[in-house]
Amino acid sequence: MQTRELGSTLEVSALGLGCMSMSALYGPPADKQEMIKLIRTAHDRGVTLFDTAESYGPFFNEELVGEALQPIRDQVVIATKFGFDIDLATGERRGGTNSRPDHIKAVADACLKRLRTDHIDLFYQHRVDAAVPIEDVAGAVKDLIAAGKVKHFGLSEAGVQTIRRAHAVQPVTAVQSEYSLFWRGPEAELLPALEELGIGFVPFSPLGAGFLTGKIDQNTQFDPTDFRNNVPRFSPEARKANQALVEVVKAAATRKNATPAQVALAWLLAQKPWIVPIPGTTKVHRLEENLGAVMLDLSADDLAEIAAEVSKVQVQGERLPEAVLKMTGL
């Protein structure tokens, strides 16, 4: 497995593993023992970055990741997140965000127990909290770093000015936001700012929440608990219109003797050397397929052809429900 550096300080595998779908948002939780096997298989294949959050469940996903990685803890990088208003005793979601410094520190202690570790390698603010100055958030994480409980500070779905202000207090190692051929919003302002500041980028939903695999069309029926049922971009009408984008990826995959998922991931890896996508899956064969993207070389001509064809497609539908979009800084 090739490696990359986030923030010039944190070396990780070129592809990480997003663990959210194992226990949240994409339907019912998968079998715990099967997911422990999958996580350990990912490590056997060279994956060292594993991404979770207290809000996935809440709490179930961190407990899963902690159990799976405990025997190999010193060989992996665990990323988790704080920032939602969740009762630490009961797991009850109280709605909205909570990045008060005292809450951040309490969340860190709770995360450490669930993850069965004495330190969090990468601690992201999950969503910006408009009620708490980002300087206070960065200061709280700085205190956690000084205490040895956290190694690196990250931000998720944060705007450029927020990132700059946080970075001035405590250097930001990585920013996590959605990015793929299905959603290219970060290209305008975010990626140039991260390059200037020397901050790594960790795209989530690098396969467009599964759409870029070519396995979803307007007739696909999602589980009633699947979040995509509420996403405008996944309405049947939008899926029908957006198939034009999938056809571009499929055509490139045919030319390269690869799969659409591999092309979509290789395209991301080709954008910048400090980009580390974190595709998620609950299936070992999909894990193997995704990891094959690391060895797929897209030439300058390949990238130019993809760019030319993608430019002809106008993607339909917002990437998130309106209420969720309002919580992002992008």
Catalytic residues: 56
Asked if residues 141 and 150 have their Cβ atoms less than 8 Å apart, the reply is: yes
Nearest to 290 by CA among 210, 202, 186: 210
* Positive or negative: CA dihedral 211, 39, 60, 130: negative
Nearest to 51 by CA among 79, 73, 25: 79
E strands present in the chain? 3-6, 10-13, 17-18, 49-51, 77-82, 84-86, 93-97, 120-125, 150-156, 172-178, 200-204
Q: Is residue 193 within a helix (H) or strand (E), and if so which, with residue range?
A: helix 190-197
Tokens of 162: 């927020």
Angle at CA of residue 282, ends 46 and 255, nearest 5°? 70
